[in-house]
Amino acid sequence: MMRTVDDYLREHGAQPAQRPLRAFLEVSRALNLGLRMVTTGGEPEPGVFVGDDMSLRLFNWYAQNYDSKLKMDFGPGRVVLMIRSEPWVVQYPMVLGTVRFIVDTIQTQQQGGTGIGKPEVPVVNILDLINKLPPKVRRSFSEQEQRQIGTAFIEGFLHMQALSTVLPKGMCQEVLCDLDIAVEHIESNSSHHLGLSKWSSLQAAEKCLKTFISEQGSNYPRTHDLEKLATQAYLVGLKKINSKWIPLIQCNPSIRYGAVSIDLQDAHAAHWASVCLVGTTAKQMQP
């Protein structure tokens, strides 16, 4: 079974490091198992293929078959920042306690540069977290660009951090997966992939709103219409979200098949609006 699932994910563009989580979601949903995220804890019980034992079997299978190719990162997730009209992927770090984020075009992990946050150690240079950022580009950022990068980084980090605190709730694990898929497709930057990215952004926002409604003990409407879902969420206690986000995210399901052509700016606008909507909603689900 796992080989079939893995082949399916490979055919749909999932990289090895992304497959364990996506396989977990596919198997749990397809078999209606309601699995929990159990990635460690030894070997499963012989002959047991349900509950935590099934989760262990799934993640152990990937560990045994891919080993170092997985390179799992346990931070709150990834986002895309638009810098000089180009998409750059940022991998947020796991933060325990207090960290000072800075933007420094020269130093690496050193105090200095344009400070973002409280002046406390440890210090993390935001530019070090931008994937494949060339040194020449790094050194060329103006002070204004450094401030813009720092502000966008912190905004995205706070939203993704909020989501990470509510992952056990409802469909929040799937929300994280959909956000990551949106990033993956923006990286590909082809017309078809950009449509898939926007669809994934819609899925993340939709599932987050549905989870909020469900967590309040209500039934959510079976729809992809974010306006309807937001209206229902407001009725059960969600504080008003930015009215500009939903139009940027909303799209027709046919966008998955290339029926609607969108550009990079449209896909990124949907991605960022989805990150903001998800983070704002997740904060209201925190204990």
| pTM of structure | 0.74
| pLDDT tens, residue by residue, 57-110 | 887 888 788 765 565 566 899 999 999 999 999 999 877 677 889 999 987 654
Q: What is the pLDDT of residue 248?
A: 98
Q: Where in the chain is the domain with CATH 1.20.120.330?
A: 165-283
Mean pLDDT for the stretch of residues 111-120: 46
The answer on pLDDT for 38 being more than 90 is no
The answer on pLDDT for 175 being more than 90 is yes
| pLDDT tens, residue by residue, 220-278 | 999 999 999 999 999 999 999 999 999 999 999 999 888 888 999 999 999 999 999 99
Give the residues across from 92 on adjacent strands.
77
Query: Which CATH architecture does the domain made up of 165-283 adopt?
Result: Up-down Bundle (1.20)
| Ramachandran angles phi, psi of 70, nearest 5° | -70, -50
User: What percentage of the chain reaches a pLDDT higher than 90?
Assistant: 57
| Ramachandran angles phi, psi of 83, nearest 5° | -125, 120
Q: What is the pLDDT of residue 114?
A: 47
Residues 232 and 160 sit within 8 Å (Cβ to Cβ): no
Give the residues across from 125 on adjacent strands.
102
